[in-house]
């Protein structure tokens, strides 16, 4: 299937590792020019070199970015437009894996840690969306895909659950506002995801992965490339009928019915 993405221009935040890197790779395979953004310059440079080589020298531009900063996000979008001539797709993925907090629940969650967490994942997604929206509206076309997490549908780490619900609410708000301008906005909720570089995920033992697989309908964890395939479809013109939706991409959760 031709996803009609050749020549489009994308920003992938958190694009140097894990799911973000897999998304960048999948977009490149469809002929998209990609800017990958992350905070660690060395890791970012290495990821760009690997992605470029694997995609036959396709355009991959690394831009050091802190999505927790208004100025840094503005500079990211300005650099993208300068390098690629515009921007069509935004994939928001930059976030602290799992979220702030740990054992002890809400009572043990530091408000400072929670605020820093939300500043990157929720407000960071808002910042990047605000920065690309004028470009999308002016051209009458755009795609925003926010990477959330299945913690939005269950309790556990307090910060992880709250921030992903916030991302879903942001997604729907943007979708309703931007739909008349030809822009779709969706959130993809991965669950346990296996990544080649362990980036963007907590490293688990084989025993822990097998135990977690018993709580997945497929009977196994999905891979970052499988999540990236969902994101890439949503980034395409073919996905125009889907907007404002929260789409699980974790291999299925036995029991609950979501409708």
In contact, 130 and 49? CB cutoff 8 Å: no
pLDDT, residue 197, reads 64
In a domain, 4, yes or no: no
8 A C-beta contact, residue 164 and residue 107 = no
- We report the CATH number of the domain holding residue 106 as 3.40.50.720
Under 8 Å between Cβ of 120 and 113: no
Q: Is the pLDDT of residue 105 over 90?
A: no
**Residues 6+ away with beta carbon under 8 Å from 57:** none
Structure tokens at 153: 């549908």
How many angstroms separate the CA atoms of 22 and 164, rounded?
20
Q: Is residue 57 part of a domain?
A: yes
Higher local confidence (pLDDT), 46 or 208? 46
Residue 217: inside a domain, yes or no? Answer: yes
Report d(CA 19, CA 88) in Å as an integer.
Answer: 20
- Domain membership of residue 256 (yes or no) is no
Q: What mean pLDDT, rounded, does the chain reach?
A: 93
* pLDDT surpassing 90 at residue 43: yes
202 in a domain, yes or no?
yes
Q: What is the pLDDT of residue 121?
A: 95
Angle at which helix 111-139 crosses helix 158-178, to 10 degrees, equals: 20
Contact assessment for residue 116 and residue 100, using Cβ atoms and an 8 Å cutoff = yes
CA 196 to chain CA centroid, Å, is 17
Sign of the CA dihedral running 166, 176, 229, 81: negative
Question: What pLDDT, on a 0 to 100 scale, did the predictor assign at position 200?
Answer: 47
The total domain count for the chain is 1
Residue 3 within a domain: no
Identify the pLDDT of residue 19. 97
Q: Full-prediction pTM beyond 0.75? A: yes
Tokens for 188, please give them: 């993809």
Q: Per residue in 193-238, pLDDT tens?
A: 998 765 544 567 888 899 989 999 999 999 999 999 999 999 999 9
Segment 132-140 mean pLDDT: 98
Q: What is the DSSP string of the chain?
A: ---S-TT-EEEEETTTSHHHHHHHHHHHHTT-EEEEEES-HHHHHHHHHHHHHHTTS--EEEEE--TT-HHHHHHHHHHHHHHHSS--EEEE----TT-S--TTGGGG--HHHHHHHHHHHHHHHHHHHHHHHHHHHHHT-EEEEEE--GGGGS-SSHHHHHHHHHHHHHHHHHHHHHGGGTEEEEEEEE-SEE-TT-TTS----HHHHHHHHTTSTTSSPEEHHHHHHHHHHHTSGGGTT--S-EEEESS--SS----
Determine the pLDDT at residue 106: 84
The pLDDT of 135-139, averaged and rounded, is 98
Kindly tell me if the per-residue pLDDT of 108 is higher than 90.
Answer: no
Exposed e or buried b per residue across 1-33, where buried means at least 16 C-beta atoms within 10 angstroms of its C-beta = eebebeebbbbbbbbbbbbbbbbbbbbbbbbbb
Q: Is the residue at 30 inside a domain?
A: yes
Q: What is the mean pLDDT of residues 110-119?
A: 90
**pLDDT at residue 102 in the model:** 64
Kindly give, in sequence order, each residue whose CB lies less than 8 Å from that of residue 27, ignoring residues fewer than 6 positions away: 5, 10, 12, 34, 89, 91, 232, 235
Percentage of residues of the chain with pLDDT beyond 70: 95
Q: What percent of the chain has pLDDT over 90?
A: 79
Please give the residue range of the domain that contains residue 241. 9-249
**Domain presence at residue 258:** no
């Amino acid at each position: 299937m031709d996803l009609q993405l050749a020549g489009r221009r994308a920003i992938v935040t958190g694009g140097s590792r894990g799911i973000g890197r897999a998304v960048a790779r999948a977009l490149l395979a469809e002929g998209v020019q990609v800017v990958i953004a992350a905070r660690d310059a060395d890791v970012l440079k290495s990821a760009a070199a690997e992605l470029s080589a694997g995609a036959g020298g396709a355009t991959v531009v690394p831009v050091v970015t802190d999505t927790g900063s208004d100025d840094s996000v503005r500079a990211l979008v300005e650099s993208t437009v300068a390098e690629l001539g515009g921007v069509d797709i935004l994939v928001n993925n930059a976030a602290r894996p799992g979220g702030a907090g740990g054992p002890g629940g809400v009572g043990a969650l530091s408000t400072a840690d929670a605020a820093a967490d939300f500043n990157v994942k929720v407000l960071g997604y808002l910042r990047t969306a605000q920065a690309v929206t004028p470009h999308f509206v002016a051209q009458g076309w755009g795609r925003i895909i926010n990477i959330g997490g299945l913690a939005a549908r269950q309790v556990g780490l307090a910060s992880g659950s709250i921030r992903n619900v916030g991302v879903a609410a942001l997604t729907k708000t943007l979708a309703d506002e931007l739909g008349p301008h030809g822009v779709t906005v969706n959130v993809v909720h991965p669950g346990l995801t296996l990544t080649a570089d362990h980036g963007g995920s907590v490293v688990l033992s084989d025993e822990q992965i097998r135990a977690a697989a018993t709580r997945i309908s497929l009977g196994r964890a999905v891979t970052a490339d499988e999540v990236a395939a969902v994101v890439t479809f949503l980034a395409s013109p073919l996905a125009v009928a889907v907007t404002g939706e929260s789409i699980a991409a974790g291999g299925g959760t036995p029991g609950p019915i979501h409708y």
